[in-house]
Every structure is written in C-alpha cells, then in structure tokens.
Chain A
Amino acid sequence: MPNPEPPSVHNIEKAFARGEEQALRAAYKQHGNLIYTYCRRTLDEDRANDVTQEVFISAWRSRHRFDPAKGTLVGWLFSITRNRIIDNVRAEQRHSERRVNLDATELPTESEIDTIGNKMMIADALRSLPDRVRQVIMLHYFDDLTQGQIAERMSIPLGTVKSILRRGLLQIRRQLESAHE
C-alpha cells in the first residue's frame, strides 16, 4: 500500500533528516537542477557533474546535521554546494600553479561564487511566483519600467501594480528568509 499522503515539502525534509531514501530521491528531483546549475555557472561541465554528485552524497551522509526547523533543505544544499565549489576552485588554483596550460585567472573568486549563488537563490524565488506577479517584477526590475509604464503595458490600475510589486518582493524575501540557516 503506498503512502496515503502525497509528500509535502515539509514531509520530504523531515523524511530526509530521518534517513528515508525516497526523500533523497525526491530532494534530487526537486533541487538537482538548481544545484547543478550553480555548479555549471561556476565550474566547467566535468567538475560541475562531480561537485553536484558530491553535494548530494555529502548531504545524505551528514543528514543528521540538517534541522528542518532551522532552514529549508534547498538552503542547506545550497550552502553545501557553495562550500564544495570554493574547495574545488581552490584545489584547481593549487594545481594551476604547477601546470602551465591552465590559466588560474579564469577561475571564479569567492566573491563571484557568492554573487552567482545569491542571484540564483533570488531567481529561484522569482520562478516560484505566480505568472502575473513574476511578470510585473520582471518588467520593473529587468526592463526598468516605471510603475506607470507597467500599468499601461499590462492595462491594469497603477495601484494594482504597486500592490503586486510590494507583494512579490515580500514573497521573495520570505523565501530567502526560510532558506536561511
């Protein structure tokens, strides 16, 4: 008999902390592409494959340290990924000193890794917003339209634009807060 309850986010996180294998699979399905994309934007493809693999293996083996009450699973995975990427870059830098065919200046700095990570977490929060809220946020912040221009473009009242922007930004901030360890 299958589990009568479809897994909620919280159920997955608790099951992960308890060591249920299905929760690892679910976490990989849900967050694998995000983690892998962080790696691909900071490392070459082969190393991105390796680091993504290491992140999930490491997270699973140290799952007793994950506390769902302190932050979300994706936030914890993201933190592990950042540290693994930095370790990997440092190792490459050490190797590059001994190899003439690798230019260490092509490797990202810690600051650049953090900047990419922060952008990805905000983009992840943005992706989870309803279509209309996301559209208004993108017009305002990506395309630099004023609230009045957005109202005209979308044929909605100015007050609605203001309300959507305020609500959307609040939702993004809440998601970032909940991810924080």
Chain B
Amino acid sequence: MSNGHLDPKGREVEAILRELDQRDLELFETPDQVWDGIEATLGLGETAPETVVSLDSRRWTGRRVLMGLAAALVGVVIAVGIFLAGNDGTRQVLATAMLAYDPVSFDRLGNAASGNASLVSQDDQLVIEIVDSRLPDPGEGADLEVWLIQPDDEGNVADLVSLGVVNPVEPGVLEIPASHDPAVYYVVDISVEPRDGDASHSGRSILRGPLTYA
C-alpha cells in the first residue's frame, strides 16, 4: 500500500474506522480532461473510457445492451443435440464455463467471487451446476440469481432467461426450461437481485462466462 505504514493486522485499522464518516466513503468523479491528458501523453490514440458508473440503480430489459458481454462472444454455438444423441439417461457433463468478474462493468460485490458452471444432462433434464464457487453474501433484501443469456452477433443481449435464485454457500443445481436451448442461451451470468418485485435483470452482474463444449 502506501508508505504510511498502516499495519493491516494492527489496532490502527479499528481506530481509523472510528474516525471515518459517510463523506469518507464518497468519491470525486475524475474530470474527462485527466484521461485526455493521459491518452495524449502516452499516444494511446483512442477515445476516453466511459466514466465509472454505478450499476446500482440500473435495470435491464432482455434487449438492453449488456456491458462486457462482447467479451463472452465466442464461437461455441454447437447444437446440444449432438451431445444428447446417444445419452442413455445417466449424468453427462456437456459443457463448462469459467465464470469471471469484470471490474469495468460488474457490481463490486463480485470482486472476490469465482466459480465454474457445468451444463449437465441428467435424467432427460438439462441443468446448470454452479461448482467450485466462492460467491458473496448479497446482503439483506437481495439474492444471487443465475441467468442464461443469448447474445447477438455484436455481443449485445438478444434474450435472457432466469434459472432461479441460489444459496451463495451451496449454489447447487438449476433446471433449464425446455423452451430455452443452452446451445443458443450459452452465456451463464450470476447477478445480485434486490427483492423489489422486479423480475428483470438488475444490471448488477458479479460473474459471467460462456459455456464451451467438450
């Protein structure tokens, strides 16, 4: 950290906590001219980055652009039917996704989160399993919800479907509705959803990743 020699294990941390007030939690917005100067000096030659925007108050509809989803676009649309052919009803892992946090556009609650998702065929039912996960406590009045996203060719959301709410400690297994083909809805997303009666995506994603097939 700084050379101010703050010992993370010492009592000073608690002493400083007692000195803080609400103002200390607020941040100034960096003026655009600061980035312009960095860009000009270093010769980066592209447009200024977007101002950091809180996602807290944003709500998405199924057609709204998902920031960062472009990163999830990968040529993995392989018909699940190929894998299901010959399935004898036993458990079979069809695809996996490494879920990652995007510090640019995701909710900060996910900054230490990690996990993987598996697309599994089990007893004629397709399910998503969240495994090897370290998920945050969403806090009082909120849940963690798992979604499957269908991206369009430009990385925007074409459609999405909720698979349901998960326990952060034991996220477990979520059934995929038969009406939604995971070969098309192939991006797994986990978001923080306030219990506010609004069933649409909150815009507060914490982890996301595309399913890739074996």
Contacts and interface: CB of A to CB of B under 8 A. Distances in A.
A132 B19 CA distance: 20
Interface in A56-79: 56-57, 60-61, 71, 75, 78-79
User: Per DSSP, are chain B's interface residues mostly helix, strand or loop, or mixed?
Assistant: loop
Contacts of A97: none
A104 interface: no
B89 interface: no
Given A6-B208, A57-B42, A79-B2, A173 B72 contact: no
B140 A131 contact: yes
Interface string A135-161: 001000110100000000000000000
Give chain A's interface secondary structure class. helix
A33 B26 CA distance: 10
A169 B52 contact: no
A119 B24 contact: yes
Interface in A1-50: 1-9, 11-12, 21, 24-26, 28-30, 32-37, 40, 49
Interface in A89-144: 113-115, 117-123, 126-128, 130-133, 137, 141-142, 144
A118 B28 CA distance: 17
Contact of A30 (B104, B142, B208): B104
Nearest to A122: B16
Interface in B9-31: 9, 12-14, 16-22, 24-31
A33 B28 contact: yes
Interface of A: 1-9, 11-12, 21, 24-26, 28-30, 32-37, 40, 49, 52-53, 56-57, 60-61, 71, 75, 78-79, 81-83, 113-115, 117-123, 126-128, 130-133, 137, 141-142, 144, 169, 172-174, 176-177, 179-181
19 contacts: A5-B71, A5-B209, A6-B72, A6-B101, A6-B208, A7-B103, A30-B52, A36-B28, A53-B41, A60-B42, A119-B20, A121-B1, A122-B17, A131-B141, A141-B18, A141-B20, A144-B18, A169-B13, A176-B6
Interface of B: 1-6, 8-9, 12-14, 16-22, 24-31, 33-35, 37-38, 41-42, 44, 49-50, 52, 68, 70-75, 98, 100-104, 106, 108-109, 111-112, 136-142, 155, 208-210
